[in-house]
């Protein structure tokens, strides 16, 4: 928790800076994230966790059921089922696809070359022992053309697929794909749809308003690398959302999607230096890749440039992170 709060907070600041300097638009809302609980035991269990988050500098407040509905009036119809909640006013939400595609356009305008529809098939490593270096990557494009790309430094940021390229070089990461589902519905009655981002703890789903759409995400299927849609899981998402906000959306034609969360046992990502000096890692962000993304990107850029990132996080491959005690100090709010 120490590690995750530190990198997430650093990331939030990096995102705010990036949004300010780039003007990226992605249906973002800065209205906080509200967890609501419908089981007394779950709520009771959440209290020490919220306190720990507060101690680490994240302003997560435990609140009553009435306060939950005051913060998000769209939950009024299920007020009698809610037993309590917690609220982090500084949290944000937005459309990650709009964010990343808009960021990629801006990067391309600034001279970055993207090669889409292209797979890396192999890292080319030369030398032995501490003199080992990655000298290139073999890639294959959508038309089956092979190519070798050369560079000074290489970052593995392949999510759940990272391990495959690293294993032949003796680098072992513990990453396993956790399939998640999302459903998006057009909003037809805006005043009945939530505007605060919500976590429905009982059903383990998150609900975000993205402009005139409502997006709901959840479930974690441990079932290899397949991304097919399981109809039962899709329908469960829609059933619960309809229960919560029956008249807010058009539920007749949802857009379903699945993605693989690159899970690590602790949910702490691998960010840092691999055992080959010019090879770097930025992967394994699990359930929180959007939350930790901007900070992770900023940190790995600093590390590649030989600078120490301004966040006390146990970066992979750094000598200081070898100890058993987490080397994190988070300023208290
Ligand atoms: C339903 C769902 C909801 C989520 N909600 C949230 C949320 O609310 N907040 C949050 O913080 N996080 C959330 N996450 C988690 C977040 O999406 C992930 O942590 C994040 O996508 C990880 O980013 P990544 O770039 O490391 O990996 P990925 O997003 O998996 O991207 C890896 C990329 O590498 C490409 N690739 C793989 N192998 C190769 C290769 N050999 N050559 C070339 N390219 C390759 C893949 O095609 C892919 O595009 C959610 C995830 C899911 C599935």
Distance, in Å, from the CA atom of 58 to the CA atom of 56, rounded to the nearest integer, reads 6
pLDDT at 194: 97
- Express each pLDDT in 32-67 by its tens digit: 999 999 999 999 999 999 999 999 999 999 999 999
pLDDT at 321 over 80: no
Cα(274) to centroid(ligand 1), Å:
20
pLDDT at 330 over 90: no
Residue ending a domain, among 240, 259, 278, is 259
Cα(160) to centroid(ligand 1), Å:
8
pLDDT at 158 over 50: yes
DSSP assignment of 259-326: EEEEE-TTS--EEEE-SSTTEEEEE--GGGHHHHHHHHHHHHHHHHTT---SS----BT-GGGGSSS-
Cβ < 6 A, ligand 1 pocket: 119-120, 157-161, 180-182, 206, 217, 259-262, 283, 285-291
**Six-digit token string for 259:** 């993605």
Cα(260) to centroid(ligand 1), Å:
6
The share of the chain scoring above pLDDT 90, in percent, equals: 93
CB contact at 8 A, 77 and 7:
no
pLDDT at 129 over 90: no
Q: Which of 159, 160, 176, 199 to mutate to test the pocket of ligand 1 (most atoms within 8 A of CB)?
A: 159
Scored b (16 or more CB within 10 A) or e, 232-258 reads: ebbebbbebbeebbeebbebeebebbb
Stretch 101-128: mean pLDDT: 96
Whether 271 and 303 share a structural domain:
yes
**Orientation angle between helical segments 2-22 and 96-109, nearest 10 degrees:** 60
Among protein residues, the one with the nearest Cα to ligand 1's atom 37 is 158
| Ligand 1 atom nearest to CA at 218 | 1
Whether 187 and 229 share a structural domain:
yes
Distance, in Å, from the CA atom of 140 to the CA atom of 119, rounded to the nearest integer, reads 5
pLDDT at 76 over 70: yes
pLDDT at 332 over 50: no
**Per the domain annotation, does 223 fall within a domain?**
yes
Whether 186 and 253 share a structural domain:
yes
Whether 313 and 285 share a structural domain:
yes
Whether 140 and 245 share a structural domain:
no
**Per the domain annotation, does 198 fall within a domain?**
yes
pLDDT at 333: 33
CB contact at 8 A, 241 and 182:
no
List C-alpha distances in Å: 252 to 39, 69, 138, 246. Answer: 30, 27, 45, 12
- 149 or 324: which leads in pLDDT: 149
pLDDT at 331: 39
Distance, in Å, from the CA atom of 76 to the CA atom of 71, rounded to the nearest integer, reads 10
Distance, in Å, from the CA atom of 23 to the CA atom of 95, rounded to the nearest integer, reads 15
Domain extent for 310 = 120-175+266-318
CB contact at 8 A, 146 and 129:
no
**Per the domain annotation, does 197 fall within a domain?**
yes
154: burial class by Cβ within 10 Å (0-12, 13-18, 19+)?
A: buried
Cα(243) to centroid(ligand 1), Å:
29
Cα(161) to centroid(ligand 1), Å:
10
| Ligand 1 atom nearest to CA at 287 | 15
pLDDT at 320: 56
Whether 207 and 243 share a structural domain:
yes
pLDDT at 182: 97
Whether 206 and 235 share a structural domain:
yes
Q: Which of 259, 280, 284 to mutate to test the pocket of ligand 1 (most atoms within 8 A of CB)?
A: 259
Whether 204 and 226 share a structural domain:
yes
DSSP assignment of 220-256: EE-BTB--PPPHHHHHHHHHHHHHHSTTTB--SS-EE
pLDDT at 130: 85
CATH of the domain at 303: 3.50.50.60
DSSP designation for 169: G
Whether 302 and 196 share a structural domain:
no
Which residues lie below 8 Å from residue 117, measured CB to CB, with a gap of 6+? 141, 142
**Per the domain annotation, does 81 fall within a domain?**
no
- Express each pLDDT in 242-251 by its tens digit: 999 999 999 9
- Express each pLDDT in 173-221 by its tens digit: 999 999 999 999 999 999 999 999 999 999 999 999 999 999 999 999 9
pLDDT at 141 over 80: yes
**Six-digit token string for 71:** 């913060």
CB contact at 8 A, 263 and 219:
no
**Per the domain annotation, does 112 fall within a domain?**
no
pLDDT at 319: 67
**Per the domain annotation, does 251 fall within a domain?**
yes
Mean pLDDT across the chain: 93
Stretch 158-174: mean pLDDT: 96
**Per the domain annotation, does 160 fall within a domain?**
yes
**Six-digit token string for 142:** 């959508």
| Ligand 1 atom nearest to CA at 158 | 34
Structurally, the chain folds into a number of domains equal to 2
pLDDT at 205: 97
pLDDT tier at 327, thresholds 50, 70, 90? very low
Phi-psi region of 265 (alpha: psi -120 to 50; beta: other; left: phi over 0): alpha
pLDDT at 89: 96
**Per the domain annotation, does 297 fall within a domain?**
yes
> Any idea which of 75-79, 136-140, 162-166, 323-327 has the lowest mean pLDDT?
323-327
Phi-psi region of 295 (alpha: psi -120 to 50; beta: other; left: phi over 0): alpha
| Ligand 1 atom nearest to CA at 121 | 41
Stretch 104-115: mean pLDDT: 96
The four Cα atoms 105, 109, 115, 117 give a dihedral, to 10 degrees, of 30
């Amino acid at each position: 928790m120490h590690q995750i709060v530190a990198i997430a907070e650093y990331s939030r600041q990096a995102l705010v800076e990036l949004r300010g300097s780039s003007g990226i638009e992605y249906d973002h809302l800065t209205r906080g994230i509200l967890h609501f609980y419908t089981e007394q035991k779950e709520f009771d269990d959440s209290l020490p966790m919220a306190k720990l988050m507060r101690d680490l500098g994240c302003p997560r407040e435990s609140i009553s059921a009435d306060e939950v509905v005051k913060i998000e009036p769209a939950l009024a119809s299920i007020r009698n089922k809610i037993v309590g909640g917690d609220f982090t006013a500084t949290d944000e939400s937005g459309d990650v696809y709009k964010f990343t595609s808009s960021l990629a356009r801006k990067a391309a305008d600034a001279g970055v070359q993207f090669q889409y529809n292209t797979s890396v098939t192999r890292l080319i490593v030369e030398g032995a022992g501490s003199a080992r270096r990655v000298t290139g990557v073999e890639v294959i494009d959508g038309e089956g053309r092979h190519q070798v790309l050369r560079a000074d430094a290489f970052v593995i940021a392949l999510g759940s697929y990272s391990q495959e390229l690293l294993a032949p070089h003796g680098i072992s990461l513990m990453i396993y794909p956790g399939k998640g589902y999302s459903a998006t519905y057009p909003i037809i009655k805006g005043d009945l749809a939530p505007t605060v981002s919500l976590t429905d703890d009982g059903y383990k789903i998150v609900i975000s308003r993205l402009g005139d759409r409502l997006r709901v995400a959840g479930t974690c299927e441990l079932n290899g690398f397949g991304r097919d849609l399981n109809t039962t899981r899709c329908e469960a998402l829609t059933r619960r959302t309809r229960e919560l906000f029956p008249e807010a959306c058009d539920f007749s034609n949802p857009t379903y999607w699945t993605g693989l969360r690159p899970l690590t046992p602790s949910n702490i990502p691998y960010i840092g230096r691999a055992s080959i000096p010019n090879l770097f890692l930025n992967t394994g962000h699990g359930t929180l890749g959007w939350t930790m993304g901007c900070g992770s990107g900023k940190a790995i850029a600093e590390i590649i440039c030989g600078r120490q990132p301004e966040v006390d996080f146990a970066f992979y491959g750094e000598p200081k992170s070898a100890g058993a005690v987490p080397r994190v100090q988070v300023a208290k709010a």
